[in-house]
Amino acid sequence: MIKKLIFLSSLVICIMARAQQFVNLAPTPPMGWNSWNTFQTNINEDLVKATADKLVSSGMRDAGYIYLVLDDGWMAKERDSAGFLVPDPQKFPHGMKALAAYVHSKGLKFGLYNCAGTETCAGYPGTRGYEYQDALRYAQWDIDYLKFDWCNTDGINAKEAYTTMSKALKKAGRPIVFSLCEWGSNKPWLWAQNVGQLWRTTGDITARFEGIKTMGEWHANGVMTIADMQDTLRKYAGLNHWNDPDMLEVGNGMTQAEDRSHFSLWCIMAAPLIAGNDITKMSEQTLNILTNKDAVEIDQDALGMQGYRFKKLADSVEIWVKPLNNDNWAVAFLNRSHTTVKVDYDWKKYIVNDTVHKRILNCNTHNYSLKNVWTKEDAGTTKKPLSGSIFSHDVLFLKLNY
């Protein structure tokens, strides 16, 4: 009888421990690197190894960029005779398990991409009808992250398709971060909280500051255009379930000011920080933006509250705010205009009342000290009005310490 009880209680503990592995996979927004923005389908084993090495030697891994994710184009065009996915033998001659071992040996995690449809966006085998089989293979290969796209899905219900894949991943038994990439078409923020850890909210990003780039039927959005689409979604994000305004374009051709503004807003929005540049060749300035400690800490803040645009001032200057742990705040003054703008801002005149998260920033009742996130300078306190100039497309990014 006692033996039976001991056996039953260990079984329950085992089951609970296993279930526990699948929660808390992304307590803060996931950080890493993804191949798509720079390399599209031109990816291979050498690129993965060089990127893994550089994530370590550049300090990016230690700054938090843990996931190395291969996007579209890693597969052969056909499944094998048993229906399993096969890595492209030219691009990945040693297969994914060996590559995952290499990535893991560097203290990183490894991710792959597929699609809920019959084919991926670039025409490789999609997962439709193979959910459990593909999940099993990812688990066998020791994959830690899956980005799951939405091309070639005519007649498929998004909630059902993503839920099936989510169940398949759990069944396969390995904790895998599940990144939904259905571009916000079916409002995943309303149903994906327990399906995956992050969901894309828009179509693709492109390395331009404003506007939309059109190429035939396809279009991509500039970073500010994407930021404009996020305001109403903040109430749906939180620990382990993040709005994803797409991967970073830092280092991909915008000016340094624009890269800084892009990164500042992604941190204010508690966005996943997935670098999309060629990190093996990046400049020192690009690395400094991606690894700015204060900015990354703002993104990764333990409360996980997505920030928002609080106010538009004259001359196209916007104020974005994010409530932080320990009653601190992040505040960004963003100049979207084409000229340098002088900003005079009386902290005491405007009270920020975040009704979603029930936080108030009131500089009449408390005096905050200011740190400039990009220059790292002590920037005084909120006692005195702020006065300064912001270059075109640049940002004044401040941390307000309580």
Active site residues: 149, 204
Query: What are phi and psi for residue 379, nearest 5 degrees?
Result: -115, 30
- When the beta carbons of 136 and 181 are compared against ligand GLA, the nearer one is 181
What SS3 state is found at 220? strand
Scan residues 59-78 and list those touching ligand GLA (CB under 6 A).
Answer: 71-72
Out of 122, 139, 229, 239, the only residue in the binding site for ligand GLA (CB under 6 A) is 122
204 binds ligand GLA (CB under 6 A): yes
390 binds ligand GLA (CB under 6 A): no
- When the beta carbons of 34 and 292 are compared against ligand GLA, the nearer one is 34
Using CB atoms within 10 Å of the CB of residue 98, give its burial: 0 to 12 exposed, 13 to 18 middle, 19+ buried: middle
> What spatial distance separates the first Cα and last Cα of the chain, rounded to whole Å?
59
Smallest gap from Cβ 149 to ligand GLA, in A, equals 5
Scan residues 302-321 and list those touching ligand GLA (CB under 6 A).
Answer: none
HSE of 228, CA atoms in CB hemisphere, 13 A: 12
Scan residues 144-173 and list those touching ligand GLA (CB under 6 A).
Answer: 149
Smallest gap from Cβ 165 to ligand GLA, in A, equals 15
**Reduced DSSP (H G I as helix, E B as strand, rest coil) percent helix, strand, coil of the chain, to 5:** 30, 25, 45
Out of 181, 267, 289, 332, the only residue in the binding site for ligand GLA (CB under 6 A) is 181
Smallest gap from Cβ 285 to ligand GLA, in A, equals 25
With CB under 6 A as the rule, give the number of residues binding ligand GLA. Answer: 10
Block residue for tokens 């971060």? 177
36 binds ligand GLA (CB under 6 A): yes
What burial letters (b/e) apply to 107-134, b meaning 16+ CB within 10 Å?
ebbbbbbbbbbebbbbebbbbbebbbbb
What SS3 state is found at 67? strand
Cα 60 to Cα 169: distance, rounded to the nearest angstrom: 28
| 196 within 8 A of 166, measured Cβ to Cβ | yes
Stretch that binds ligand GLA, among 118-126, 130-138, 235-243, 257-265 (CB under 6 A): 118-126
- When the beta carbons of 71 and 278 are compared against ligand GLA, the nearer one is 71
Tokens of 352: 């920020």
Stretch that binds ligand GLA, among 52-60, 116-124, 329-337, 360-368 (CB under 6 A): 116-124
Q: Which residue is nearest to ligand GLA (CB)?
A: 121
Smallest gap from Cβ 71 to ligand GLA, in A, equals 5
Smallest gap from Cβ 200 to ligand GLA, in A, equals 6
What burial letters (b/e) apply to 308-339, b meaning 16+ CB within 10 Å?
bbbeebeeebbbbbbbbeeebbbbbbbbbeee
List of residues 6+ apart from 2 with CB closer than 8 A? none
Site string for ligand GLA, 76-115 (x = CB under 6 A): -------------------------------------x--
Q: Which residues bind ligand GLA (CB under 6 A)?
A: 36, 71-72, 113, 120-122, 149, 181, 204
